[in-house]
């Protein structure tokens, strides 16, 4: 059975703002919902709207191209009925509502009908009441047959709330969420700019430095990176622009190293690596694709190239010196390739202190260059590269329970 996401591009409340003004970073709330639904396994997306705008049309085209999943704008009634089959499972999300991704995936895996609910408390009184105990937390999973029967009955009435009532009447399973999700901003209905900023702040806090493949430098800089990700989101900086910026900085770093300016080349390489990391964090927060693999390879490869040029100049043509520079860099490159090939639990089995990256090596080289200890810095880079490889080979893997 297909999982079809049914979303609303309408503003349901009497807000002073239009939907176009209430963005989560560069996204309209409906686009954020759409990307969440795709991650939850939706095979088709239907966006309900009475007034198809140029931006919504561009949104559907962009999502369809990026994901290969059909994304369509529909109105109520017959047009919606033509897109749904009675055997479909319909994932219904309330307009302008942001739900934690893990919760949405749990709902999508349930048997219909099912509802997300939260207890009735002062913090949740603005949400739609179901009964004396619960309010609706903005997500429902209903059978396609129920939607088709409701469309036939309704005409142009409020489809979302009527489906909610029918699901309650059919004793839908209730997935209860903590009311703390509302007060913390994990579950939020976006009606004001403050709501959108609160949702973005929560997403930013959970979105950087928490993925498999992280290293000690990433962990150390994660608090600053989260702040920058949130700032760039409020400024509506597209993650794609950060990716291109990292590539340009990487090329400039190689050019500076070739010209014999290590104190310019190394900071440019570090800035390129940091920009690529911010692109990854921003993309993760707003559910956009990461930078293309070739662009990541360019940025990280350029860092190693800068280190190779700087180290080669220090070696002054000595075969032993060149080997002492080249071998650690080769080990760093091998670690990067191994990390890129690892997935899921395999990546998590490598502890952060077992990873030594080009960015970490560039930071050591820059520090050595600034204090007049460039040769000693490359000796330390070699020790770190060999030490992390040895740790991977000798330290037992973490065993799951």
Give the DSSP per-residue string, 79-147.
HHHHH--TTPEEEEE-TTEE--HHHHHHHHTSPSSEEEEEE--GGGTTSPB-SSSEEEEEEEEEEHHHH
For the chain, the structural domain boundaries read 3-191, 206-394
pLDDT > 70 in the chain, percent: 88
Q: What is the pLDDT of residues 245-301, one digit of tens each?
A: 999 999 999 999 999 898 999 999 999 999 998 888 888 777 877 888 889 899 999
Q: Report the C-alpha gap between 245 and 271 in whole angstroms.
A: 10
More reliable by pLDDT, 113 or 160: 113
In this predicted structure, the answer to whether residue 397 has a pLDDT above a threshold of 80 is no
Structure tokens at 85: 């089959």
Summarize the confidence of residues 153-170 as an average pLDDT: 76
Structure tokens at 112: 């219909």
CA nearest to 181, candidates 206, 160, 213 = 206
Confidence of residue 401 (pLDDT cuts 50, 70, 90): very low
Q: What is the pLDDT of residue 28?
A: 81
Summarize the confidence of residues 116-136 as an average pLDDT: 82
Q: What is the pLDDT of residue 344?
A: 47
Range of weakest confidence among 50-59, 153-162, 260-269, 380-389:
153-162
Highest mean pLDDT (candidates 195-209, 219-233, 321-335): 321-335
Mean pLDDT of the chain: 81
Query: Looking at domain 206-394, which CATH architecture does it have?
Result: Up-down Bundle (1.20)
The three-state secondary structure class of 7 is: strand
Q: What is the pLDDT of residue 199?
A: 79
| Fold type of domain 3-191 | Spore Coat Polysaccharide Biosynthesis Protein SpsA; Chain A (3.90.550)
């Amino acid at each position: 059975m297909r999982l079809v996401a049914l979303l609303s591009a309408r503003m349901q409340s009497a807000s002073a703002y239009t939907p176009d003004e209430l963005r989560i970073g560069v996204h309209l709330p409906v686009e954020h919902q759409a990307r969440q639904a795709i991650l939850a396994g939706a095979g088709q997306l239907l966006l309900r709207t009475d007034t198809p705008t140029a931006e919504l049309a561009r949104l559907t085209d962009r999502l369809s191209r990026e994901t290969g999943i059909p994304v369509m704008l529909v109105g109520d009634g017959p047009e919606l009925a033509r897109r749904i089959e009675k055997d479909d499972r319909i994932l219904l999300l309330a307009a302008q509502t942001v739900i934690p991704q893990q919760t949405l995936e749990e709902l999508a895996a349930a048997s219909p009908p099912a509802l997300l609910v939260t207890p009735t408390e002062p913090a949740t009184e603005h949400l739609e009441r179901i009964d004396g105990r619960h309010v609706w937390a903005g997500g429902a999973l209903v059978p396609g047959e129920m939607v088709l029967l409701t469309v036939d009955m309704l005409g142009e009435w409020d489809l979302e709330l009527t489906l909610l009532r029918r699901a309650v009447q059919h004793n839908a399973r209730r997935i209860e969420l903590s009311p703390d999700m509302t007060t913390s901003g994990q579950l939020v209905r976006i009606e004001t700019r403050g709501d959108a900023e609160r949702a973005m702040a929560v997403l930013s806090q959970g979105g950087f430095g928490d993925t498999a493949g992280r290293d000690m430098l990433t962990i150390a800089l994660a608090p600053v990176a989260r702040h920058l990700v949130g700032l760039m989101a409020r400024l509506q900086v597209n993650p794609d622009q950060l990716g291109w910026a990292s590539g340009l900085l990487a090329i400039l770093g190689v050019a500076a190293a070739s010209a014999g300016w290590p104190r310019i080349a190394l900071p440019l390489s570090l800035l390129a690596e940091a920009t690529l990391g911010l692109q990854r964090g921003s993309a993760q927060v707003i559910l956009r694709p990461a930078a293309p693999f070739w662009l990541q390879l360019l940025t990280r490869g350029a860092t190693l190239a800068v280190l190779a040029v700087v180290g080669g100049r220090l070696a002054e043509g000595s075969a032993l010196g060149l080997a002492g520079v080249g071998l650690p860099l080769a080990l760093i490159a091998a670690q990067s390739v191994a990390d890129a090939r690892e997935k899921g639990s395999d990546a998590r089995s490598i502890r952060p202190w077992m990873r030594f990256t080009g960015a970490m090596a560039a930071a050591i080289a820059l520090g050595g260059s600034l204090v007049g200890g460039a040769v000693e810095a490359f000796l330390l880079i070699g020790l770190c590269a060999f030490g992390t490889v040895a740790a991977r080979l000798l330290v037992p893997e973490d065993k799951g329970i």
